[in-house]
Amino acid sequence: MGFKRVVVTGIGALTPLGNTAPEYWEGLQNGVSGAAPITRFDASKFKTRFACEVKGFDPLDFMDRKEARKVDPFVQYAIASTDEAVKDADLDFENLDTNRIGVIWGSGIGGLKTFYEEVASFAKGDGTPRFNPFFIPKMIVDIAPGHISMKYGLRGPNFSCVSACASATNAMIDAFNYIRMGVADIIVSGGSEAIINEAGIGGFNAMHALSTRNDDPATASRPFDKDRDGFVAGEGSGTLILESLDHALARGAKIYAEVAGGGLSADAHHITATHPEGLGAKLVMGNVLKDAGMEPGDIDYINVHGTSTPIGDPGEVKAILDLFGEHAYALNISSTKSMTGHLLGAAGAVEAIATIFAVKNDVVPPTINHFTDDPDLDNKLNFTFNKAQKREVKAAMSNTFGFGGHNASLVIKKYIP
């Protein structure tokens, strides 16, 4: 038996640009920056005092007060975006085989706020252990898909992927594989992250990973710009309903796009830095094309990892040039992290959603905040600087790379019956 085709039938997004998928897409098309001074805590003594926070989110819109206290924000975010995606896909679980519906989720860090607060409270005390009984269940990464499965009664494959900033893409690739192999009919997949707290910002500051452009947060995320100085921390969640084509057609579901392939690789180079020659990036893009049965010339747009770091951006550009050759100059390339910031383990989910909307609507979202060309990059490439561009997008690629050298990439294409 051959592989089943896999399509996207529902989308949900909670992002720094908007708390629903349509709001998120509108913000992307309009080149809106989600960066602003941090409100989650007093950041006045931190090197970086801004981030891309989710705005106006109330967990009580999705759960009661008692439940909200039992879960970390990264789980609250996951439940919120999944609520939207389930409604968008018009899933009637009472009339579906929930034994064949799973949840595969990604988060790089999980309940960091919970961990920080519990340990800080203990450290300030007299040494007597007084920990919240929900400390561990609130913190662990796999609790997000657990809560989603319990909310909807989904008994199919259920687990989390952790590969730093590639986590959500890894999760979606696993979901894609389980569906095309016939193990499940539908899988709720994506990722969530909530690291805008003292430990998250302080930890990334200590690594010199974050931009410190405190005087102008909105322009701080500058992928491929000469004066980029680090990434901007983001938070939020993205959910995709992945479904076998035959199952989707049988229930009359709307179809956004088709998932054509997934690719994985490792840099085997450094704990935090991507390979300077882009070897892992080139390998993962080649692997995803092979899995999709496609050639470099079949790709119209790449939603790049593009974090706005001095080392990372050039390596990905070199990988694209090495793999795509002359076709690289026919591509649109953009980094939506210039607007959302870096959602870490959730990045792959919200960027896959951006890629799906680009394919569906034939609009490439921009890389904003470009002011000065970097002479070390090939500026003949179309980085879609500062303004969205309309073009036919038959197929697109979404890249995510994580600390530890983990690389994951998806190819999304137009659904053609």
Which residue numbers are catalytic? Answer: 165, 305, 342
190: phi then psi, degrees, rounded to nearest 5 = 155, -145
CB of 267 closer than 8 Å to CB of 246: no
Residue 258 CA to residue 56 CA, distance in Å, equals 32
CB of 129 closer than 8 Å to CB of 122: yes
Task: Tell me the C-alpha to C-alpha distance, in Å, between residue 410 and each of 25, 168, 309, 345.
Answer: 19, 11, 22, 15
How many other CB atoms are found less than 10 A from the CB of residue 143? 24
Q: Is the dihedral of CA 191, 138, 19, 97 positive or negative?
A: positive
CB of 230 closer than 8 Å to CB of 51: no
Q: For the packed helices 347-361 and 167-180, what is the interaxial angle rounded to 10 degrees?
A: 60
CB of 51 closer than 8 Å to CB of 235: yes
User: How far is C-alpha 104 from the chain's CA centre?
Assistant: 14
Q: For the packed helices 73-88 and 143-152, what is the interaxial angle rounded to 10 degrees?
A: 40
Residue 115 CA to residue 46 CA, distance in Å, equals 20
